[in-house]
Amino acid sequence: MNRNCPLMKASQFEFGSRATEALAAKTPSDVDRFLPELRSALEEHVRLARHSLEAQVVAITAMDAAFLERPDQIENSQTAHHSNELHYQMHHS
């Protein structure tokens, strides 16, 4: 799950806010009023998390397939990327 995703952060905040309201309820009728909102926020958060995980599975599967087709090109690409990262760190530290 991508924790940096703005939608996931907003969803997590929404769920947390609803949970806090439900926990602060003083009467059973207050709890009953907050439960539908809490359930809705939780369902949305789970939906977004599931979607994020499914997207990650698709991306990993595609990368695995690309590696199996051309492992030498993938390795060269990763080596070049690593080299670029080291160059950046050396000059921007």
- What are the extents of the domains in the chain? 6-91
Query: Model pTM?
Result: 0.54
Q: What is the pLDDT along the chain (93 residues), one digit of tens a residue?
A: 455 677 777 778 788 888 888 888 888 898 888 888 888 888 988 898 899 889 889 999 988 888 777 756 555 555 555 555 655 556 554
User: How far apart, in whole angstroms, are the C-alpha atoms of residue 56 and residue 43?
Assistant: 20
Q: What share of the chain is helix, strand, coil (3-state, %, to 5)?
A: 90, 0, 10
Sign of CA dihedral 64, 68, 74, 79: positive
Q: Using an 8 Å Cβ cutoff, are 38 and 11 in contact? A: no
* Residue 1 token pair: 């799950």
